[in-house]
Amino acid sequence: MISKKIYNTTSIAIVISMAMLFCSCADNYKRVGDEAIKNIFPSGIAEDFTLTYTETNGEKEEDGEVVSRVVAVLKSAVSNDFDNLSFSYRTFPDGLKVEFFDDKGMKSTVTADFGIIYSKTNLIDLQGNVVIETEDGKKLEAPQIFWDRNNDWIFTQEKFKYTNPEEGTVMDGEGMDFNRSFSFLHANRTYGLMSIKEKKDD
């Protein structure tokens, strides 16, 4: 009789231990990092995307229509629209090409492997093999460039290569800010080989 009681007590102890073991195996882990990131989906996807920026000077034509001119034309194979978010933006995962036109119709071209336009701040982030070329042949190459559309100002903290065929110069450096026409240019640091065209005396 005593052995039967010991057996029942042992069985009850095993059952309680197993129940505690299964309860302690519950997944109470609070997920962080990549596991906690919510999936974000675009509100719209456009293929063979073309966006034309225009501006008006307030003047009107004889028929009453407001005079406007094309400032820039942006083209991309794919555009993802995330305007459904509180901080809206648009991405160009397959690269983009932007053509800018000044008051005289002179064109500058920008190409990049990837781009983001932040709608609220009017800031454009260009990444991967970024190349800016002006109509007179000036060229800037960098892995990443930011363009502040409000102030028409371009800057980078990355390494760059700037070629100016008019002056016959090639400049390598790191960190630069400039206006779109390259009429003002400030480099934080320059290094490497710099060739400068000398003026000939008459």
pLDDT tens digits, one per residue of 110-131: 999 999 999 888 889 999 999 9
Amino acid at 201: D
Q: Tell whether domain 42-195 is in CATH 2.60.450.10.
A: yes
Residues in the chain: 202
Query: What average pLDDT does the chain have?
Result: 79
Tokens of 34: 């990549």
- In this predicted structure, the answer to whether residue 192 has a pLDDT above a threshold of 60 is no
User: What are the pLDDT digits (tens) for 141-181?
Assistant: 999 999 888 887 888 999 999 888 887 888 888 998 887 66
Confidence label for 105 from pLDDT (cuts 50, 70 and 90): confident
Q: How confident is the model at residue 25 (pLDDT cuts 50, 70, 90)?
A: low
pLDDT at 13: 60
Q: How many angstroms separate the CA atoms of 200 and 135, rounded?
A: 26
Between 10 and 170, the more confident residue is 170
Q: Comparing 27-31, 40-44, 48-52, which segment has the lowest mean pLDDT?
A: 27-31
Q: Can you give the pLDDT at residue 30?
A: 60
Q: What is the pTM of this model?
A: 0.70
Region 191-202 average pLDDT: 59
Cα–Cα distance measured from residue 94 to residue 131, given in angstroms and rounded to the nearest whole number: 15
Task: Identify the H or E element spanning 17.
Answer: helix 2-24
